[in-house]
């Protein structure tokens, strides 16, 4: 056995439509009919319902204003720097109506991190949330973007920055001033829709170029896999029931993350579910939202599942109405899976797996049973072909470990303006995932380990090399290696092994208080300059030398194993 197939993609995928044309202007045989009165979006704080006509109108108004006021045109980049917002989707789709590209940024970024994304994408316009405005302005000014090209989603008291609402209203009052691009057959495969950032094994995050065709395809793949719009079982047991009025969907996943962007925002809209838009995750507010909106479906990451299982407030709420829960972005242990089953007794529960580079889902738990297989990331989606490859390049069979490589129609185009990284990851039409897996005969995929150096913290990618480069800027640091250590809440967190400069090493050798002071300063250096999930929550340990191979490559696995031993035995010494 050399290749494993998830089955045929037996459905038409349009290759001449943009994303808003597919979701707002057309129909698909697999798409359920959304009954009248069922909203697309629900604003969590106010309960405001937003339906199809309003979404479509707001998208048009923004597109009209983007062109008339800012001249946004084909292949320009609009950067959205915001937590989830009910106008996030119209802002994206309006950008696409003009043939332009969307790049979502983490609203927790520092000014330096945001500046890097602005410069990498050469953004022409920045849309920010009021809470992120000061950082957005600082980064935009550093990039040479004038303040009048920074738009805010909502009004900021005491300021005169342009709001999305004002742009919508202005755009709706004027005649259409743009001609929406019409793609030629096949052009959707190469027309870029998103530049989503993904950390690689070296250096800073890279911009993943995602075509319009890729998310559309992945939505259709997930629809087939989940048997959407088919009567495959009794109505009350169907996973995504078309026209279910009380079916809510809590959005605790950020739209700038590929999981929230494709699975939550686009796939669930395709299925006819209402999306409750929550700007920021707070566990107690999250529980209240479930009760207030009668939420039935949850798309979560492991830290949120840990809270559901362990937080005392969970017992104060009735969660028997939850019918479906899927975990993604990071592996969920079999033990945690067993716990969440007790918390959500009526839910279909399982896992999914995917990457930014695959435009999301590669596998999802099957509809064959109420619960996914313990420890499994689900079965390969239709249209996915997988290889499991040993270090020497030979292919292995079922039940043997190796690196997962996949070929699928939703693969990204590569890394934006980074041909070397593209060649390393996208090889002859195959995506090298960097994840060690075992695939069983029933096509269940089990993630064994991460072969690539990237780590996952709360579902977000963290490149050790980025943190190492940052730490090496400190005068007291001579050498450094950052590794992941297990964490019950975050999955894993960064820990730094640091070789100190000789004079500093001598100073701390026999002075525990000085050693702790230096460690604290190193941790603070990262905290002051990096987003929260990149901080050294695993701590700092001093070491005499960083192990390396003869060519000078860090032997990260050695220190990773040592860190895990230290985690298991806190008193162990290096």
List, for residues 231-254, the tens digit of each pLDDT value. Answer: 888 888 888 875 543 334 444 578
* CATH number of this structure's domain 51-182, picked from the four choices 3.40.50.980, 3.40.50.300, 3.40.50.2300, 3.40.50.10800: 3.40.50.980
Q: Please give the distance of CA 105 from its chain centroid, rounded to a whole number.
A: 11
CATH code of domain 455-568: 3.30.300.30
Q: pLDDT-based confidence at 292, cuts 50/70/90?
A: confident
Q: pLDDT-based confidence at 224, cuts 50/70/90?
A: very high
CB distance 173 to 65 below 8 Å = no
Cα angle for residues 196, 431, 21 (degrees, 5° grid): 45
CB distance 220 to 11 below 8 Å = yes
Among 137-151, 337-351, 440-454, 530-544, which range has the highest average pLDDT?
Answer: 137-151
C-alpha 435/C-alpha 406 separation (Å) is: 11
What pLDDT is attached to residue 94?
Answer: 98
Instruction: For residue 17, give both structure tokens.
Output: 């439509």
Q: Which helix (H) or strand (E) holds 557?
A: helix 556-568
**pLDDT value at 291 more than 60:** yes
Mean pLDDT of 399-416: 95
- Burial classification of residue 455, based on how many CB atoms lie within 10 Å of its CB (0-12 exposed, 13-18 middle, 19 or more buried): buried
Calculate the alpha carbon distances from 346 to 325, 340, 349 in Å. Answer: 10, 11, 9
Q: Please give the distance of CA 284 from its chain centroid, rounded to a whole number.
A: 23
Instruction: For residue 310, give both structure tokens.
Output: 């362990």
Q: How many CB atoms lie within 10 A of CB 572?
A: 10
Pairing relationship of beta strands 491-500 and 540-542 according to DSSP bridges: parallel
C-alpha 183/C-alpha 29 separation (Å) is: 21
Q: Please give the distance of CA 293 from its chain centroid, rounded to a whole number.
A: 24
What pLDDT is attached to residue 245?
Answer: 33
* 44-54 per-position pLDDT tens digit: 888 899 999 99
Mean pLDDT of 399-404: 91
Every domain of the chain with CATH number 3.30.300.30 lies at 455-568
Q: How many CB atoms lie within 10 A of CB 195?
A: 25
**pLDDT value at 126 more than 60:** yes
Q: What are phi and psi of 279, to 5 degrees?
A: -60, -40
Q: Which helix (H) or strand (E) holds 482?
A: strand 477-487
> Which distant-in-sequence residues (6+ apart) come within 8 Å of 256 by Cβ?
80, 104, 105, 106, 107, 196
Among 115-129, 457-471, 485-499, which range has the highest average pLDDT?
Answer: 115-129
Give 160's DSSP letter: -
Mean pLDDT of 136-151: 97
Q: What are phi and psi of 395, to 5 degrees?
A: -90, 145
**pLDDT value at 461 more than 80:** no
Every domain of the chain with CATH number 3.40.50.12780 lies at 4-13+212-450
Closest CA to 462 of 444, 434, 482: 482
Every domain of the chain with CATH number 3.40.50.980 lies at 51-182
**pLDDT value at 573 more than 70:** no
Partner residues linked to 126 by β-bridges: 79, 150
Cα angle for residues 273, 278, 280 (degrees, 5° grid): 145
Pairing relationship of beta strands 150-152 and 455-457 according to DSSP bridges: unpaired
CATH 3.40.1380.10 fits 4-13+212-450, yes or no: no
* 346-378 per-position pLDDT tens digit: 999 999 999 999 998 999 999 998 999 988 999
Mean pLDDT of 196-217: 84
Calculate the alpha carbon distances from 455 to 288, 352, 486 in Å. Answer: 32, 18, 10
Mean pLDDT of 326-338: 75
Least confident range of 73-87, 157-171, 559-573:
559-573
**pLDDT value at 549 more than 60:** no
Rg, Å, the chain Cα set: 24
What pLDDT is attached to residue 550?
Answer: 46
What pLDDT is attached to residue 123?
Answer: 98
* 524-541 per-position pLDDT tens digit: 999 998 988 999 999 999
- Average pLDDT over all residues of the chain: 88
**pLDDT value at 17 more than 80:** yes
Q: pLDDT-based confidence at 451, cuts 50/70/90?
A: low
């Amino acid at each position: 056995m050399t290749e494993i197939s998830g089955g045929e993609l037996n459905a038409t995928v349009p290759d001449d439509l943009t994303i808003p044309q597919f979701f707002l202007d057309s129909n698909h045989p697999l798409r359920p009919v959304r009954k009248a009165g069922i909203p697309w979006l629900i604003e969590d704080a106010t309960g405001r319902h937003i339906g199809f006509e309003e979404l479509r109108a707001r998208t048009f108004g923004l597109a009209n204003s983007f062109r008339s006021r800012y001249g946004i045109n084909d292949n320009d980049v609009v950067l959205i720097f915001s937590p989830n917002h009910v106008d996030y989707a119209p802002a994206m789709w309006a950008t696409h109506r003009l043939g332009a590209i969307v790049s979502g940024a983490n609203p927790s970024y520092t000014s330096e991190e945001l500046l890097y994304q602005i410069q990498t994408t050469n953004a022409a316009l920045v849309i920010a949330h009021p809470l992120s405005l000061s950082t957005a302005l600082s980064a935009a000014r550093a990039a040479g973007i004038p303040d009048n090209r920074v738009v805010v989603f909502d009004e900021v008291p005491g300021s005169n920055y342009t709001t999305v609402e004002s742009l919508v209203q202005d755009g709706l009052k004027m005649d259409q001033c743009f001609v929406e691009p019409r793609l030629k057959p096949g052009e959707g495969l190469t027309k870029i829709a998103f530049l989503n950032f993904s950390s690689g094994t070296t250096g800073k995050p890279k911009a993943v170029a995602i075509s319009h065709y890729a998310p559309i395809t992945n939505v259709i793949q997930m629809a087939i896999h989940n048997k959407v719009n088919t009567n495959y079982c009794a109505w009350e047991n169907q996973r995504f029931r078309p026209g279910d009025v009380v079916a809510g969907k809590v959005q605790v996943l950020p739209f700038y993350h590929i999981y929230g962007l494709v699975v939550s925002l686009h796939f669930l809209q395709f299925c006819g579910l209402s999306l409750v838009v929550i700007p920021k995750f707070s566990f107690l507010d999250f529980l209240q939202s479930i009760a207030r909106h009668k939420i039935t479906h949850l798309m979560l990451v492991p830290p949120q599942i840990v809270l559901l299982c362990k937080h005392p407030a969970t017992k104060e709420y009735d969660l028997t109405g939850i019918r479906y829960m899927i975990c993604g972005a990071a592996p969920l242990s079999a033990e945690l899976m067993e716990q969440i089953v007790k918390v959500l007794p009526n839910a279909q529960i399982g896992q999914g797996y995917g990457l930014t580079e695959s435009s999301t889902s590669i596998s999802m738990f099957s509809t064959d049973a109420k619960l996914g297989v313990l420890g499994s990331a689900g079965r390969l989606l239709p249209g996915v072909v997988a290889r499991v490859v040993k270090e020497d390049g030979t292919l292995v069979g079922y039940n043997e470990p190796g690196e997962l490589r996949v070929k699928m129609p939703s693969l990204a185009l590569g890394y934006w303006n980074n041909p070397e990284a593209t060649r390393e990851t996208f090889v002859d039409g195959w995506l090298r995932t960097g994840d060690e897996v075992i695939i069983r005969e029933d096509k269940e995929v089990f993630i064994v380990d991460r072969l690539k150096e990237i780590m996952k913290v709360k579902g977000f990618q963290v490149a050790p090399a980025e943190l190492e480069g940052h730490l090496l800027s400190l005068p007291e640091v001579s050498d450094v290696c950052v590794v992941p250590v297990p964490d019950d809440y975050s999955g894993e967190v960064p820990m730094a092994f640091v070789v100190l400069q000789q004079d500093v090493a001598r100073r701390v050798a026999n002075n525990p208080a000085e050693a702790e002071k230096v460690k604290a300063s190193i941790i603070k250096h990262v905290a002051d300059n990096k987003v929260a999930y990149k901080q050294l929550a695993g701590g700092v340990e001093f070491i005499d030398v960083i192990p390396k191979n003869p060519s000078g490559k860090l032997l990260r696995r050695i220190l990773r194993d040592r860190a895990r031993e230290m985690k298991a035995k806190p008193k162990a010494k290096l």
